[in-house]
Amino acid sequence: MSYEVPHFIQGKKISASNRKLEIYDPVQGKLAGHVLVADRQIVQQAILAAKQAFKTWSLTTPSQRTKILFRFKALLDKNIEALAKLVTQEHGKTLAEAIGSVQRGIDVVDFTCGITHHLKGVFTDHVATGIDCYSLHQPLGVCIGITPFNFPAMIPLWMFPMALACGNTFVLKPSEKDPSCSLRLVELAQEAGVPDGVVNIVHGDKETVDALLIHPDVNAISFVGSSTVAEYVYKTGMTHHKRVQAFGGAKNHCIVMPDADLDQAAEQLVAAAYGSAGERCMAISVVVAVSDETADKLIANMKIKITHLKIGSGFSADSDVGPLVTQAHLERVQSYIALGKEEGAKLIVDGSQYKPKEFTNGFFMGACLFDHVQPHMRIYKEEIFGPVLCIVRVANFDDGLKLINEHEYGNGTAIFTRDGYIARTFADQVQVGMVGINLPVPVPVAYHSFGGWKRSIFSDIGMYGSEAIRFYTKLKTVTQRWMPRISS
């Protein structure tokens, strides 16, 4: 049965819209429903609701906000499987992956429950005779979040709970490809006691995004998506005097040294490259094998493990990999396979045309593995965002490190080695924001912060943890002197 996903403004579902966009079931490859598109009037309505709610929410004490966030976390814990099913239904990733992603979002909500400690100011008395100085963290106002299709629960939970904890109000624009889970998150926040207008949702496409980016009552913008769009969001927002953090694309390399446990490395790399059908900004997409011997052994190991991957519906308990999100995205990824062969890379595992027998119309493809990839190739330089892994062979560690540091992206990276000196040198010298040692997907825990370097981020402030507090507050420093009263 077809369904429709509405906006959520001032505590109510809003079905007004002149346009709708299609939502597909990626397993069956058929139309499942529609999501409304917010025009400028709907955007104005949402921002006005958030602006008005800010007047009282910003004056709510941090401890009162924390009580609501505790209730919100409890509701998320209670509903984690239902939320994950919404993710799997519209995105396609396996239910186990969806549950894990929702949990990573809940971890950030858990961090917000201790916000009272992190919002404490700093006080120094007697900076000069009779003069004191103190600093405060104050909320910004109306903040917006524009989130991608690949994590429709996790990334919204990385944004709006942090903004609310710091005393801001929020308008969320989730991906139009899989919007249902984000709507349910906001409904649960409302159920937890978040007042009307404090968090709102509008759906749409570029027209909606542009209306949000330039609105004079928006104070801060948080975005996750491709680097091209991230740069556009950053420049547009900054031009209109917003605070902006815009997270872009990635081409995450993993160096494999000759001394590494190659069986362990192969197992983890297959999961890191092909999990969630490669639709992750932290997916490993390039393996840098140090020496031909290392490459040959690693590839032989990986090919065995790839053959054991089970591709099917995300709701099937034995599926390791689900479908891609849309037909258009599937065709885009498949076009990179053809391009890689044209460029001269050796396609040693080709799952580009694979379809499970029971889901021949679904947006599926199998794992693809390229060997002898060269740095000048587009399949090396560009983010593919699908189940495609490239092997680049280098002679030594220094060449591998240089390769990574010269790439335009700097989101995540990793190394497999038993050599502590090499590992420490790598962590110290690699020009990438998030680094893994003997683990390939180094997403920081909630009480640290997430963020890449170079064209993987257009901002100097990361996401969640202490970095989010910097982003969602403005610093005010007061210097005071009180003179004694003069008796009359």
Q: What is the 3-state secondary structure (H, E, C) of 233-290?
A: HHHHHHHCCCEEEEECCCCEEEEECCCCCHHHHHHHHHHHHHHHHHCCCCCEEEEEEE
Look at residue 447 and tell me if it is in a domain. Answer: no
The answer to whether 118 and 194 have CB atoms below 8 angstroms apart is: no
Q: How far apart, in Å, are the Cα atoms of 293 and each of 166, 290, 296, 349?
A: 53, 8, 5, 19
Q: What is the CATH number of the domain that holds 7?
A: 3.40.605.10
Q: What is the CATH number of the domain that holds 260?
A: 3.40.309.10
Q: Which residue of the set 143, 166, 281, 390 is catalytic?
A: 281
Pairing state of beta strands 131-139 and 122-128?
Answer: antiparallel
Do 27 and 140 reside in the same domain of the chain? yes
Structure tokens at 169: 């109000």
Do 182 and 198 reside in the same domain of the chain? yes
Which residue numbers in the chain have pLDDT < 50? none
Look at residue 370 and tell me if it is in a domain. Answer: yes
DSSP 131-190: EEEEEEEEE-SEEEEE--SS-TTHHHHHHHHHHHHTT-EEEEE--TTS-HHHHHHHHHHH
pLDDT at 80: 98
Quote the domain boundaries for residue 280.
252-437
Do 224 and 94 reside in the same domain of the chain? yes
The answer to whether 126 and 134 have CB atoms below 8 angstroms apart is: no
Do 260 and 243 reside in the same domain of the chain? no
CA angle 200, 176, 144 (to 5 degrees): 35
What is the distance in angstroms between the CA of the first residue and the CA of the last residue of the chain? 82
In this structure, what DSSP letter does residue 329 have?
Answer: H
Look at residue 483 and tell me if it is in a domain. Answer: no
Look at residue 443 and tell me if it is in a domain. Answer: no
Do 210 and 349 reside in the same domain of the chain? no
Q: How far apart, in Å, are the Cα atoms of 121 and each of 61, 133, 136, 363, 464?
A: 14, 11, 5, 51, 19
Q: Is 281 a catalytic residue?
A: yes
Which H or E element spans position 229?
Answer: helix 227-239
Do 378 and 464 reside in the same domain of the chain? no
**Which are the contacts of 161, defined by CB distance < 8 A and separation ≥ 6?**
69, 72, 108, 109, 112, 189
Do 170 and 268 reside in the same domain of the chain? no
**Which are the contacts of 104, defined by CB distance < 8 A and separation ≥ 6?**
154, 443, 446
**Which are the contacts of 331, defined by CB distance < 8 A and separation ≥ 6?**
none
Look at residue 486 and tell me if it is in a domain. Answer: no
Residue 434 β-bridge partners: 412
What is the tally of helices (H) and strands (E) in the chain?
Answer: 16, 23
pLDDT at 488: 63
The answer to whether 367 and 387 have CB atoms below 8 angstroms apart is: yes
Do 177 and 60 reside in the same domain of the chain? yes
Do 232 and 345 reside in the same domain of the chain? no
Q: How far is it, in rounded angstroms, from Cα 48 to Cα 412? A: 38
**Residue labelled with tokens 């220094």:** 398
What is the value of pTM for the model shown?
0.95
Q: How far is it, in rounded angstroms, from Cα 3 to Cα 183? A: 13
How many Cα atoms within 13 Å fall on the side-chain side of residue 144?
Answer: 34
In this structure, what DSSP letter does residue 195 have?
Answer: P
Do 181 and 293 reside in the same domain of the chain? no
Look at residue 8 and tell me if it is in a domain. Answer: yes
Do 105 and 187 reside in the same domain of the chain? yes
The answer to whether 8 and 183 have CB atoms below 8 angstroms apart is: yes
Structural domains in the chain (count): 2
Look at residue 432 and tell me if it is in a domain. Answer: yes
Cα 90 to its chain centre, rounded Å, is: 17
Do 242 and 256 reside in the same domain of the chain? no
Look at residue 126 and tell me if it is in a domain. Answer: yes
Structure tokens at 273: 């490259």
Structure tokens at 344: 């001269």
